[in-house]
């Protein structure tokens, strides 16, 4: 197992530009799911690029503009809370990924996607389990997806005060549970999620 991601998976695909794709926000109780897509320039990869989960928030925020400045192409896509509730989280994740890939300035010939599910994207797909720790392109996509979603949830904290979205970003946390008990669900809570559904029914 590689200690850090590299470009060997990208190099093995010779059909044309390869993008890495990853998501952020599949698990939270509130907010959209986001996805990033990145075609890296092998000659200009930012130092310290790694799986977003292994980086501090400060490191992610520093790397995001470097990725955008140095990549051959990058894109970010979202699927809304309404789309998550209507489609289910898996299909909404695929929708966010398609939007991210479609936002690329260069059409990719192939996509390396983190995980074991073969999402339907505008190009052939290779799922890579643990991909954000193996592929630099997927790692870059994971950073863009995470930073974009976190930034949006900070904005949502101002629009829906009292829930603490700027801190927990919509994930399960004691402060989030307490806020829900006090305020009830907000407009950006996922109503198809069991804990939220229980509050609405109760």
State the DSSP code for 154: H
- In Å, how far are 58, 123, 158, 164, 193 from 178, measured between CA atoms? 28, 44, 18, 10, 17
Establish if 115 belongs to a structural domain. Answer: yes
Average pLDDT over residues 153-174: 97
Establish if 65 belongs to a structural domain. Answer: yes
- Please count the structural domains in the chain: 1
Establish if 27 belongs to a structural domain. Answer: yes
Establish if 176 belongs to a structural domain. Answer: no
Establish if 88 belongs to a structural domain. Answer: yes
The CA distance from 37 to 198, in Å, is 35
Establish if 163 belongs to a structural domain. Answer: no
Q: What is the pLDDT of residue 202?
A: 58
15: its two tokens: 């059909």
Sheet of strand 73-79: strand arrangement: 73-79, 33-39, 18-24, 110-114, 125-128
Average pLDDT over residues 83-97: 97
66: its two tokens: 């470097």
Average pLDDT over residues 73-102: 98
With cut-offs at 50, 70 and 90, classify the pLDDT of residue 200.
Answer: confident
Establish if 187 belongs to a structural domain. Answer: no
The CA distance from 140 to 138, in Å, is 5
196: its two tokens: 């939220």
With cut-offs at 50, 70 and 90, classify the pLDDT of residue 199.
Answer: confident
- Whichever domain contains 22, its CATH number is 3.30.420.10
* pLDDT (tens digit per residue) in 139-159: 999 999 999 999 999 999 999
Establish if 35 belongs to a structural domain. Answer: yes
* pLDDT (tens digit per residue) in 30-79: 999 999 999 999 999 999 999 899 999 999 999 999 999 999 999 999 99
Q: What are phi and psi of 43, to 5 degrees?
A: -85, -5
Q: Dihedral sign for Cα 116, 12, 102, 158, please.
A: positive
Greatest alpha-carbon span in the chain:
57
Average pLDDT over residues 164-182: 96
Q: Which domain covers residue 66, as residue numbers? A: 8-158
């Amino acid at each position: 197992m590689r200690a850090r991601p590299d470009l060997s998976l990208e190099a093995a695909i010779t059909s044309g530009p390869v993008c890495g794709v990853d998501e952020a926000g599949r698990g939270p109780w509130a907010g959209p799911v986001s996805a990033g897509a990145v075609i890296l320039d092998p000659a200009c990869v930012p130092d310290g690029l790694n799986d977003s989960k292994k980086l501090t928030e400060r490191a992610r925020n520093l790397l995001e503009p470097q990725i955008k400045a140095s990549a051959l192409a990058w894109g970010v896509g979202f699927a809304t809370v309404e789309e998550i509730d209507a489609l289910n989280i898996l299909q909404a994740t695929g929708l966010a990924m398609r939007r991210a890939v479609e936002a690329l300035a260069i059409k990719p010939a192939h996509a390396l996607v983190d995980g074991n599910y073969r999402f339907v994207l505008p190009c052939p797909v290779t799922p890579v389990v643990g991909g954000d720790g193996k592929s630099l392109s997927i790692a870059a996509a994971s950073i863009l997806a995470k930073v974009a979603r976190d930034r949006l949830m900070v904005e949502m904290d101002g629009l829906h005060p009292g829930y603490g979205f700027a801190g927990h970003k919509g994930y399960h946390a004691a402060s989030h549970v307490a806020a829900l008990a006090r305020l009830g669900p907000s407009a950006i809570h996922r109503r198809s999620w069991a804990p939220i559904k229980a509050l609405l029914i109760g």
